[in-house]
Amino acid sequence: MSCKPPWPARPRRFRFLKVRPLNKPLLQLLLTRITLAVVTLFAVSIVVFAATQYLPGDPARAALGAKADPSAVEALRRQFGMDRPAVVQYFSWIEGALTGDFGRSIPSGRPVWEAIGPRAVNTLILTVTSLLLLIPLSFVLGILAAIYKDRLADHLISVPTIVTVALPEFVIGTVLIVLFAVYLRWLPPVSLINDSLPLSSQSSLFILPVLTLLGTTLAQVVRMVRAVALEVLSAEYIYMVRLRGISPARVLIWHVLPNTITPTIQTIALNAAWLAGGVVVTESVFQLPGIGSALSDAVINRDMPTVLAITLIITATYVLINLVSEALILLLNPRLRVARGNN
């Protein structure tokens, strides 16, 4: 009888991927985190729902215009179920939201998702691009600044980043528009996205908004990376590795970087949230049709279903990013990755 297992042996060269089954404590931790995230999301949905309940002004009246007669307003209120108690409204809403049905926008009477779906794509592109640039850029700049601490390179990195962090998005955005669009004419000042054309052909419309978001977030992450990297660089084990004659490049990539990443993940996650919030102002400066500008429109129009949907989407994204970052921290930590029973 052969004792060979029915599955093929895992090729050795993939060992570095550390594809080990998740061990129990790690799984438990992850499950706890996920549960917490879901609970948080529910709490947020209640808070936001409660807040929108207190929006002054009647959404039905706002939708029909001031001249509308009271019976029509009443009919619309009934149609949107606004005459029911808040608790009932909440549960019917959350029930729909869980199945992807965010109800109908009050002014247009169309499904909320139909209006914000395409906008969500634009916002997603904007934020994801910013995030994808933010991460490598902040690590490169932060570690460089740490290595050349208090030298020219450090100042060249630290001073501009500290200035941009001190500026609100609208100032950065406006400066970028004046500089790159009005004077230099390199880039379009207004992000007039055409839905009927492929987004790939309109990438230039995203450059300035992405730069604006980067400007407000990069500094924070660079500063954090720099601080962590400084700590790592002065750690005893880094000296030990260097005194073993390991080349500086190897020290940086295999020893400094991995130990810098984990503590900064949280900061990056926090900044991702700032990105999510910052899109409101940025989208308004560039008139980019995203969910940030849709939110401010919805707030003005007292379009409660849309406000709720967008806030929930943004918050869910935020919570998700935090969850992913926590999961990453757990997964990247060899202490938790390695099964305890191993010893």
Partner 1 sequence: MTEAIPLVVQSLFMHDLNGREIVGDVSLHVERGEVLAIIGESGSGKTSVALSLLGFARPGMRISSGKILIGGTDILSVSGRQKRAFQGGKVSLVPQNPTTSFSPRMSVGKQMAELLAAHGHTGTGMKQLMRQALRSVDLPDDEKFFRRYPFELSGGQLQRIAIAMAFITSPQVIVMDEPTTGLDVSTQQTILELIARLVKSSSASVVYVTHDLAVVNVVADRVAVMLSGRIVEQGGRKQVFAAPSDDYTRMLLDAIPRLVTDCPAAAREAEGAIEIQSVLEVKNLRAAHGHVEVVHGVSFSVGKGECVGLVGGSGSGKTTTGRCVTGLHSNASGSLLFQGHLMPFAVSSRSKADLSAMQIVFQNPDRSLNPKESVAQSIARTVRLTGLADRAQVGAEVRSLLDRVRLPQRVVDLYPADLSGGERQRVAVARALAMKPKLLVCDEITSALDVSVQAAVVELLLDLKKDGLAMLFITHNLPLVSEIAQSIIILKDGNIVEAGKTNEVLRSPQDLYTKMLLGAAPRLN
Partner 2 sequence: MSTSVLRLTLAKPAARIALVLVLVIVALASLGPYFSPYAFDEVVGAPFAPITYEHWLGTDFLGRDTFSRFLYGGRTVLVVALCATVAAYIVAVPLGIYSGLRRGPLDVLLIAISDVIYALPPAIFLLVLLASTGPSLPTVIVGIVILHSPRIFRIVRLITMDISKNEYVEAAFARGESWTAICFLDILPNVLTPVLADFGVRLCGSIILYASLSYLGLGLPPPAADWGLMISENRIGITISPWIAIAPALAIAAFSVAVNVLADSFARSVGRSKEI
Partner 3 sequence: MSKDIDINRPNADPTLVGRRDVLKTGLFLGAGIVLAGAGLRPALAEEPKRGGTLRVGLGAAGAKSSLNPFISTGDMDFAVAQSIFDRLTDFDKDGKLYNKLADDFTHNAEGNVWKIKLKKGVVWHDGAPFTAKDVVYTIQYILNSDNKADAYPNLAPLLEPKGVRALDANTVEVELKQPYALLPQVLGSKVMFLMKDGTTDFDKPIGTGPFKFVSWSRGQRVTLARSDNYRTPGQPYLDGVEFIAINDPTARMNALVANQVDAVAQLDGSLARLIEANPALTLLRSKSGATTDQFMMTNLKPFTDVRVRQAFRLMVDRQQLLDNALSGYGRIGNDLHCITDPDYASELPQRAYDPDQAKSLLKQAGYDNSQSITLYTSDAAPGMQASATLIANQAKKIGVNIELMVVPPDSYYSGPNFKKTQMGSSDWGQHTLESQFGQGYARGAYWNEPDWTSDAFDKWVSKARTTFDAPKRREYYVEAQKVLWNEGAYIIWGFRDLLDASSAKVKNIVPSTQRNLGYYQFENVYLG
Interface ranges with partner 1 (CB under 8 A):
234-247, 250, 254-255, 258-259, 332, 334-335, 338, 342-343
The interface mask with partner 2, positions 79-98, x = CB under 8 A, is: --------------------
Q: Which of 170, 237, 239, 254 binds partner 2 (CB under 8 A)?
A: 170
Please report whether residue 130 would count as binding partner 2 according to CB under 8 A.
no
Selected range binding partner 3 among 136-144, 248-256, 258-266, 291-299, rule: CB under 8 A: 291-299
Cα–Cα distance measured from residue 169 to residue 182, given in angstroms and rounded to the nearest whole number: 18
Neighbours of 128 (CB within 10 A): 13
Does residue 226 contact residue 209 with C-beta atoms inside 8 Å? no
- Complex with partner 1: residue 69 or 150, whichever CB lies closer: 150
Cα–Cα distance measured from residue 139 to residue 95, given in angstroms and rounded to the nearest whole number: 42
Cα–Cα distance measured from residue 253 to residue 28, given in angstroms and rounded to the nearest whole number: 31
Residues 6+ apart with CB under 8 A from 308: 45, 48, 49, 52, 93, 97, 102
Least spacing, CB of residue 303 vs partner 2, in Å: 11
Please report whether residue 279 would count as binding partner 3 according to CB under 8 A.
no
Find the helix packing angle between 86-98 and 304-332, rounded to 10°: 60
Q: Which of 25, 65, 258, 277 binds partner 3 (CB under 8 A)?
A: 65
Residue type, 163: V
Please report whether residue 224 would count as binding partner 2 according to CB under 8 A.
yes
Least spacing, CB of residue 239 vs partner 1, in Å: 7
For 277, the enclosing helix (H) or strand (E) is helix 257-286
Q: Which residues pair with 111 in a beta bridge?
A: 104
Handedness of CA 173, 175, 179, 181 (dihedral sign): positive
Please report whether residue 169 would count as binding partner 2 according to CB under 8 A.
yes
Each residue of 20-57: b (16+ CB within 10 Å) or e?
A: eeeeeebeeebeebeeebeebbeebbeebbeebeeeee
Least spacing, CB of residue 299 vs partner 2, in Å: 4
Please report whether residue 307 would count as binding partner 2 according to CB under 8 A.
yes
Please report whether residue 268 would count as binding partner 2 according to CB under 8 A.
no
Does residue 248 sit in helix, strand or coil? helix
Q: Which residues pair with 104 in a beta bridge?
A: 111
Q: Which of 82, 124, 153, 165 binds partner 2 (CB under 8 A)?
A: 165
- Complex with partner 3: residue 142 or 173, whichever CB lies closer: 173
Selected range binding partner 3 among 17-25, 150-158, 175-183, 327-335, rule: CB under 8 A: 175-183
- Complex with partner 2: residue 112 or 224, whichever CB lies closer: 224
Please report whether residue 259 would count as binding partner 2 according to CB under 8 A.
no
Does residue 275 contact residue 217 with C-beta atoms inside 8 Å? yes
User: Which residues contact partner 2 (rule: CB under 8 A)?
Assistant: 36, 40-41, 43-44, 47-48, 51-52, 54-56, 162-163, 165-171, 174-175, 177-178, 182, 224, 227-228, 230-231, 263, 267, 273-274, 276-278, 280-281, 284, 295-296, 299-300, 307, 311, 314-315, 318-319, 322
